[in-house]
């Protein structure tokens, strides 16, 4: 049996027809990872034993003729900032290198109820702060399309795992583009849902007003299946809501797509521009109406993000002190020096940079000039989108300004690295859903479709039309 | 309003030292100098927001969902997670007789 290019549905029907077992499938993926991941480094932790035990149990269930779900037996990978009970969760950081979570994140609990096989935990920039996965304490992930290139970040391990064929789907988290940008760089599909559509309970917090968990897979259809299994309100996350499912049918001839001229700027790579225009043309040929729109506050989204996200990070990361859990240096020093040493050595350079930046912009005398101003700009950006969605149904932009860059290329210059997210951050600030899709399959040139707040289901339908 | 970035062109070294202490981060001399450069560059970049007139904008934190989420204050049965306290204690770097050991404060 050939296991390449498997989708969730293909596996499901093969399992029902007993063409192969969950154990055979799981073994195939584990062997492939063990053989090929030395060069990619998509995984921080593999749960070989747990995966095989569960696979065997599921096979018994199938052989007894018990009903299975669409996701039963589907091998997947989880970003290492999302908690899976009793499996080490590092957030890519030295300070959490020995952290074994006592509980499951809500998304993980839901996936486990469906019967997925969690093969392991994937690499990320430390605490999801980065755009290349190079800021992981455990080492850089390489792009499976070309190992000299970065897979993007921060969910670079999750994107690389799918692109390399190490799993069928993965979960990532997106605070400023961390699902969409690596999906684009690795030539796969990645969805950043509306803020609140999916519970964040059990996601290690970075910037709580922007963070959102989302699925990554090779096809929109697979992303859709996973999304449907994890969507919904949760009593453990009071920002989560139930989003409407009704407005799902898309009539492409009655659909208006807005193209914001502010995203087609001089800095954009010619190959990306050509590819995205090709994708737009495809929708136009199917009968969609294309309209040029303007989102005038676009250029302020990135500086706004770099005030809000580090400010929230600086308070969220205050909890890591080496006292209750996490790495600490066993030395005989007083409390202050204990904190200083654990945090100084436990966090990597980018995380420390952002903690200091956030502490600065929140400090007395600067709060109004930075954080409060940024919150107001965030509102202007949100209104930009609201006005646009009065005129159009969806917005299409490039996901990234350039194709994947080389490993090491931007690591020395934080501002240059931040610019990788220039097209993705506005969506997080406005809380909107957006999906990144490769223009051509397995190519690192992608476009993103943005929808109105809570239009996630229609947005996915719109993306399916492209894939069909 | 046109931007005025000169005031933050370079933040002072002692500001970085003070920040590091507030953040409880021990930094080497080289690291302090590097962060002085990085933070100055980043602040110059984010100062772009000063171009915008925000005098008529009201702050909003909630994407328009301004309501309290409440629950009853009552006992919840946590069957199946009875071993969680032990697991939490196991994560503690230093314990004595099942208690978390902390540094002396006073």
**Average pLDDT estimate for A141-152:** 98
**Interatomic CA distance for residues A203 and A112, integer angstroms:** 16
Q: How close A284 comes to chain B (CA, Å)?
A: 32
pLDDT of residue A38: 97
The verdict on a CB contact (< 8 Å) between B54 and A321 is: no
Confidence of residue B8 (pLDDT cuts 50, 70, 90): very low
Q: Could you say which DSSP state residue A371 is in?
A: I
For residue A445, give every residue at least 6 positions away whose Cβ sits within 8 Å of its Cβ, in sequence order, or none. A184, A271, A272, A275, A276, A403, A438, A439
Confidence of residue A247 (pLDDT cuts 50, 70, 90): low
**Average pLDDT estimate for B24-38:** 96
The two three-digit tokens of residue A46, written as one number = 């593999």
From A235, A335, A337, residue closest to B105, measured CB to CB: A335
pLDDT of residue A332: 84
pLDDT of residue A468: 83
Question: Looking at the complex, does the CB of residue B89 fall below 8 Å from at least one CB of chain A?
Answer: no
- The fraction of chain A above a pLDDT of 90, given in percent, is 92
Top-confidence residue, A356 or B78 = A356
Chain B residues with CB under 8 Å of A176 CB are none
Q: Dump pLDDT digits (tens) for B50-94.
A: 999 998 888 766 555 667 888 889 988 776 677 888 899 999 999
Q: Which of A213, A87, A80, A212 is nearest to A156 (CA)?
A: A80
Question: Looking at the complex, does the CB of residue A373 fall below 8 Å from at least one CB of chain B?
Answer: yes
Q: How close B27 comes to chain A (CA, Å)?
A: 6
**Interatomic CA distance for residues A459 and A465, integer angstroms:** 10
Question: Looking at the complex, does the CB of residue A294 fall below 8 Å from at least one CB of chain B?
Answer: no
Q: How far is CA B61 from the centre of its chain?
A: 17
Cα separations in angstroms, A176 against A69, A125, A154, A390: 33, 13, 9, 24
pLDDT of residue B106: 76
**What rounded mean pLDDT belongs to chain B?**
84
**Interatomic CA distance for residues A152 and A132, integer angstroms:** 4
A79 tagged catalytic = yes
Which positions 4-63 of B are in contact with A (Cβ < 8 Å)? Answer: 11, 15-16, 19-27, 31, 35, 38-39, 41-43, 45-52, 54, 57-61, 63
Query: What is the chain B residue with the closest CA to A353?
Result: B35
pLDDT of residue A181: 98
Q: How close B12 comes to chain A (CA, Å)?
A: 12
Confidence of residue B9 (pLDDT cuts 50, 70, 90): low
From B11, B24, B45, residue closest to A343, measured CB to CB: B24
Lowest-confidence pick of A63-67, A410-414, B25-29, B102-106: B102-106
Chain A residues with CB under 8 Å of B5 CB are none
Angle at A261 between CA A413 and CA A214, to 5 degrees: 60
Chain B residues with CB under 8 Å of A355 CB are 23, 25
Angle at A334 between CA A332 and CA A336, to 5 degrees: 130
Q: How close B47 comes to chain A (CA, Å)?
A: 8
**Interatomic CA distance for residues A82 and A78, integer angstroms:** 7
Best probe of the B interface among A109, A196, A376, by most B CBs < 10 A, is: A376
Query: Which 3 state secondary structure label does DSSP give A396?
Result: strand
A with B: how many residue pairs have Cβ under 8 Å apart?
Answer: 156
Confidence of residue B10 (pLDDT cuts 50, 70, 90): confident
Long-range contacts of A419-422 (CB under 8 A, 24+ apart): A419/A267, A419/A302, A420/A131, A420/A132, A420/A152, A420/A177, A420/A181, A421/A131, A421/A176, A421/A177, A421/A181, A421/A302, A421/A305, A422/A267, A422/A301, A422/A302
The verdict on a CB contact (< 8 Å) between B59 and A376 is: yes
**What rounded mean pLDDT belongs to chain A?**
96
Query: What is the chain A residue with the closest CA to B20?
Result: A356
Contact A148, A39 (CB under 8 A): no
**Average pLDDT estimate for A15-25:** 96
Q: At what angle do helices A298-316 and A373-391 cross, to 10 degrees?
A: 130
Cα separations in angstroms, A274 against A182, A282, A468: 20, 12, 21
**Interatomic CA distance for residues A106 and A229, integer angstroms:** 11
A178 tagged catalytic = yes
Q: Is the pLDDT of residue A2 over 80?
A: no
Q: Dump pLDDT digits (tens) for A257-294.
A: 999 999 988 789 999 999 999 999 999 999 999 999 99
The two three-digit tokens of residue A20, written as one number = 């192969």
Contact A23, A75 (CB under 8 A): no
């Amino acid at each position: 049996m050939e296991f390449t290019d498997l989708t969730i549905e293909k596996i499901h029907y093969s399992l029902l027809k007993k063409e192969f077992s969950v154990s055979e499938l799981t073994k195939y993926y584990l062997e492939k990872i063990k053989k090929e991941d030395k060069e990619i480094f998509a995984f921080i932790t593999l749960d070989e034993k747990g995966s095989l035990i569960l696979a065997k149990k599921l096979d018994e269930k199938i052989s007894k003729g018990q009903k299975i779900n669409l996701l039963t037996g589907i091998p997947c990978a989880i970003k290492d900032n999302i908690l899976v009970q009793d499996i080490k969760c590092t957030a890519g950081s030295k300070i959490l290198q020995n952290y074994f979570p006592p509980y499951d994140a809500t998304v993980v609990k839901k996936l486990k109820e469906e019967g997925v096989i969690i093969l392991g935990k994937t690499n990320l920039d430390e605490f999801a702060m980065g755009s290349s996965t190079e800021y992981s304490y455990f080492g850089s992930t390489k792009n499976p399309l070309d190992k000299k290139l970065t897979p993007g970040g921060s969910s670079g391990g999750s994107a690389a795992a799918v692109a390399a064929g190490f799993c069928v789907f993965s979960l990532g988290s997106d605070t400023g583009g961390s699902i969409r940008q690596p999906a684009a760089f690795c030539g796969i599909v990645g969805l950043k849902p509306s803020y609140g559509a999916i519970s964040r309970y059990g996601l290690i917090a970075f910037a709580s007003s922007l963070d959102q968990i989302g699925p990554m897979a090779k096809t929109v259809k697979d992303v859709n299946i996973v999304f449907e299994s994890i969507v919904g309100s949760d009593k453990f996350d009071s920002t989560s809501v139930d989003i409407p499912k009704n407005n799902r049918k898309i009539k492409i001839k009655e659909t208006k797509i807005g193209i914001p001229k502010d995203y087609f700027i001089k800095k954009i790579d010619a190959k990306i521009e050509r590819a995205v225009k090709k994708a737009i043309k495809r929708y136009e040929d199917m009968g969609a109406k294309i309209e040029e729109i303007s989102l005038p506050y676009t250029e302020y989204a990135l500086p706004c993000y770099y005030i809000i996200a580090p400010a929230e990070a600086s308070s969220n990361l205050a909890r890591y002190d080496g006292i209750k859990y996490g790495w600490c240096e066993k030395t005989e020093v007083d409390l202050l020096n204990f904190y200083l040493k654990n945090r100084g050595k436990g966090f990597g350079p980018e995380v420390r940079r952002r903690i200091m930046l956030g502490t600065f912009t929140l400090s007395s005398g600067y709060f109004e000039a930075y954080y409060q101003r940024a919150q107001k700009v965030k509102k202007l950006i949100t209104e930009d989108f609201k006005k646009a969605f009065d005129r159009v149904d969806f917005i299409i932009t490039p996901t990234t300004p350039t194709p994947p860059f080389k490993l090491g290329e931007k690591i020395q210059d934080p501002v240059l690295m931040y610019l990788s997210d220039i097209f993705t951050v506005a969506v997080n600030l406005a809380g909107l859903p957006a999906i990144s899709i490769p223009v051509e399959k397995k190519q690192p040139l992608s476009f993103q479709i943005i929808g109105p707040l809570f239009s996630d289901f229609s947005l996915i339908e719109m993306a399916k039309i492209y894939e069909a | 309003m046109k931007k005025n970035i000169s005031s933050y062109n370079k933040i002072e070294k002692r500001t970085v030292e003070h920040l590091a202490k507030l953040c409880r981060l021990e930094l080497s001399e080289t690291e302090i100098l590097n962060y002085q450069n990085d933070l100055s560059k980043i602040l110059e970049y984010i100062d772009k927001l000063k171009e915008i007139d925000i005098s008529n904008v009201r702050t909003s934190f909630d994407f328009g969902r301004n309501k309290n989420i409440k629950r009853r204050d009552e006992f919840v049965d946590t069957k199946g997670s009875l071993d969680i306290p032990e697991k939490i204690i196991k994560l503690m770097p230093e314990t004595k007789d099942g208690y978390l050991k902390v540094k002396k404060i006073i």
